[in-house]
Amino acid sequence: GLVPRIAGRGFSPDDLKKGVFGRRLNVWNLSCRTLTQCFDLGEDSLPMSVKFLHNPDAAEGYVGCAMSGIIYRFYKCEANNWAVEEAIRIPAKDVSGWILPKMPAFTTQLVISLDDKYLYLCNWMHGDIRQYDISKTCKPQLVGQVFVGGSILRGGPVTVCRDEELKCQPEPLVIKCKRVYGGPARMQLSVDGKRLYVTNSLYSTWDKQFYPNVIKEGAVMLQIDVDTEKGGLSVNKNFLVDFGKEPNGPCLAHDIHFPCGDS
């Protein structure tokens, strides 16, 4: 993941040349506290979120890489060792008016539904939340996508020159008369899988750099309604927790957890 002192001073393009970001997925044997396997996921891949399937018989899961935009599936082989394969690739966008000529998705979190049917991910830079059907774990299918901010919004300082996925830049989001800034950073899925909650602050130093309005106006928590039958996401226009209205001034909301633990 991110080295805390590096994260604390914000993002610099030079960091990419220095190789300060994590690039490995490590497998530990906890009973004897030894590192048994190590997967190099590529230079500056920045693996950030690791999630296992909930089914106790399934020895597999996914790891999301923020910089490379690749979600890898890891799984246990018959020989009791682990293997890794690419499952999803979110291409960077060619942009102008931004800190780099290519904008990575910057996938910050993965969430798997309790029934192991869907995988959700949020891209803090691009601004979208995605839902994948993972009934075939090696071939996730994109079934839902919604934009809740991000750095490529129409009318902003960034122009997208080339995009392998979108035909036009997404519209800004307004909920209950409040313009939502920032990008989706952390998520929590309800136990029934029908409500996906999302907040939009990552690290205060990074927020300040990429989304200064989040610092000024405070973060928000939004609710995304999920179609659990066919797949599909939509922003709930009646739900807004506005952390800009706190008694001691605007706050930055990060992790969301239910008392019952993971969804």
**pLDDT, tens digit (0-9, with 9 covering 90-100), for 98-147:** 999 999 999 999 999 999 999 999 999 999 999 999 999 999 999 999 99
Show the tokens assigned to 181.
Answer: 């800034």
Q: Is the pLDDT of residue 18 over 90?
A: no
Identify the burial level of 223 via C-beta atoms within 10 angstroms of its C-beta, where 0-12 means exposed, 13-18 middle and 19 or more buried: buried
How confident is residue 9, by pLDDT bands cut at 50, 70 and 90? Answer: confident
Per-residue model confidence as pLDDT tens digits over 24-67: 999 999 999 999 999 999 988 999 999 999 999 999 999 999 99
pLDDT given for residue 4 in this prediction: 61
d(CA 85, CA 191): 29
Residue 261, both tokens: 């633990």
pLDDT at residue 250 in the model: 94
pLDDT average, residue stretch 165-190: 96
Per residue in 53-102, pLDDT tens? 999 999 999 999 999 999 999 999 988 899 999 999 999 999 999 999 99
pTM of this prediction exceeds 0.85 = yes
Q: What percent of the chain has pLDDT over 90?
A: 86
Q: Is residue 14 scored above 90 in pLDDT?
A: no
**Cβ-count burial 110-137 (b if 16+ within 10 Å, e if not):** bbbbeebebbbbbbbbbbbbbbbbbeeb
Say what the pLDDT of residue 105 is: 97
**Confidence (pLDDT) at 11:** 85
